[in-house]
Amino acid sequence: PTTPPQQWKRFWKIRLAPMVRNVWYRLLLNKWPALTPLHFFMPQQFPSLFCPACPLHYQTTRHMSLDC
């Protein structure tokens, strides 16, 4: 699902430190460097899809930010 332009305008108006804004932006777009997409593009460098902290789950953006 896409985010309506009005919501993006509100997001950009929020007073946040640049690093914090970058983290939230990446999380909202599901572009955080989790192991699942890294494994897809570089399987030799990232052989496992599982989270290093709790190896029962795949390390997705959602898992890293909410579930782990």
Q: Are residues 25 and 38 in the same domain?
A: no
Tell me: do 46 and 68 sit in the same domain.
yes
How many Cβ atoms are within 10 Å of 48's Cβ, its own excluded? 12
Q: Tell me the residue range of the domain where 45 lies.
A: 34-68
21 and 50 part of one domain: no
Q: What is the pLDDT of residue 63?
A: 85
Count of structural domains, the chain: 2
Digit-by-digit pLDDT tens for the chain (68 residues) are 578 899 999 999 999 999 999 888 888 887 777 787 788 888 898 888 888 888 888 888 888 888 88
My answer on whether 68 and 38 are in the same domain is: yes
Is residue 55 domain-shared with residue 42, that is, in the same domain? yes
Task: Examine the domain organization and report whether 38 and 60 are in the same domain.
Answer: yes
For residues 41 and 23, membership in a common domain is answered with no
Q: How far apart are CA 45 and CA 25, in angstroms?
A: 26
